[in-house]
Amino acid sequence: MRNVTAENITDVFTGYLGEDTDPRVREVLTSLARHLHDFTREVSLTHDEWRKALELMQWAGRITTPERNEFVLLSDVMGLSSLVDMVNSKPDVTSSSVLGPFHVSDAPPLAIGGDMRKDFDDEVILVEGHVRDKEGNAIPGATIDIWQTAPNGLYSSQDPDQDIYSFHGLMTADENGRYAFTTVRPVSYTVPSDGPVGEILNAAGRHPWRPSHLHFIVSSEGHRNLVTEVFAADDPYLDQDTVFGVRDDLVMHFVPQPAGSFPEGFELSGKVEGDYSRVDFDFILARE
Ligand code: BEZ
Ligand code: FE
């Protein structure tokens, strides 16, 4: 096509696709081009704006490493990661939420009732619940991969003073699908904002904060892997998560417990004399 115009360029693009193109590739690319072209026409994108966007992408490429993926972060703050989660969600099961860049593979096993705090001696939080299917049946032996920030707001991979497995643990639910552990109360923290994503947030007048949360990947054969996060109900950023991860069913409540009531069956049993808080949270998995 030699008479390409601002009006026909999307059709020309589609016409250039090969006849044998995989139908799904055709559908996705055609729609992507249509939205990109519509967007460009709608805002009358200038050369300077187009160049700036490409420079930001280049910068993202330069700083992306296995430990820090600026493109994933861009997807997160644009709401794309959460939207992909939501359009692929199943009804009546626990919502999924962003994985984030700080998961560590091969976390050390954490026994039921184990303590995640290790070197940090903060307030004790007891987290307990069951893994079930949507009919309410227990899922025995489900795997629960747990991670969170230390009280300083840093994940282990961001903090040279922490062991890489600090605040990471891999638990196996018991025959009733029960899991339980103790940890410290998670804190709100900021996503990395010293790169292009920070520049975009700044330009948009947005803050980089996430409400305090615990991360989980819950898995069991025959069920869909659940990648999710659970958020503190009283966190000031609960309604303004910069990566759009909060869902109604992912809110946990810390219920204060009186001194002297810490239960048996935990690594810390007999060691917690003062107040502590308790969270009850069940995970509902979809069948594969
Ligand atoms: C996190 O929760 O760990 C996270 C998610 C998205 C971007 C940065 C961090
Ligand atoms: Fe996180």
Q: What is the pLDDT of residues 77-116, one digit of tens each?
A: 999 999 999 999 999 999 999 999 899 999 999 999 999 9
Looking at the domain assignment, is residue 235 inside a domain? yes
Statement to judge: residues 25 and 148 lie in one domain: no
CA 259 to chain centre: 34
CA of 264 to the centre of ligand 1 (A): 34
Looking at the domain assignment, is residue 52 inside a domain? no
Region 44-63 average pLDDT: 98
pLDDT (tens digit per residue) in 209-236: 999 999 999 999 999 999 999 999 999 9
Statement to judge: residues 39 and 92 lie in one domain: no
Looking at the domain assignment, is residue 115 inside a domain? yes
Ligand 1 pocket, residue 76 CB under 6 Å: yes
Ligand 1 pocket, residue 74 CB under 6 Å: no
How many domains are contained in the chain?
2
Q: Whose CA is nearest to atom 4 of ligand 1?
A: 100
Ligand 1 pocket, residue 266 CB under 6 Å: no
Looking at the domain assignment, is residue 122 inside a domain? yes
Statement to judge: residues 145 and 2 lie in one domain: no
CA of 208 to the centre of ligand 1 (A): 10
Q: What's the domain range around 4?
A: 1-45
pLDDT (tens digit per residue) in 141-170: 999 999 999 999 999 989 999 999 999 999
pLDDT (tens digit per residue) in 235-281: 999 999 999 999 999 999 999 999 999 999 999 999 999 999 999 99
pLDDT band at 34 (very low <50, low <70, confident <90, very high): very high
Q: Which ligand 1 atom is the nearest neighbour of the CA of 73? A: 7
User: Ligand 1, from 206, 210, 237, 242: best to mutate by most atoms within 8 Å of Cβ?
Assistant: 210
Identify the pLDDT of residue 118.
79
pLDDT of 120 above 80? no
Statement to judge: residues 158 and 26 lie in one domain: no
Looking at the domain assignment, is residue 198 inside a domain? yes
Statement to judge: residues 24 and 158 lie in one domain: no
Looking at the domain assignment, is residue 129 inside a domain? yes
pLDDT of 51 above 80? yes
* CATH code of 82's domain: 2.60.130.10
Q: Which ligand 1 atom is the nearest neighbour of the CA of 210? A: 2
Looking at the domain assignment, is residue 64 inside a domain? no
Looking at the domain assignment, is residue 66 inside a domain? no
Statement to judge: residues 174 and 280 lie in one domain: yes
Mean pLDDT across the chain, nearest whole number? 96
pLDDT of 119 above 90? no
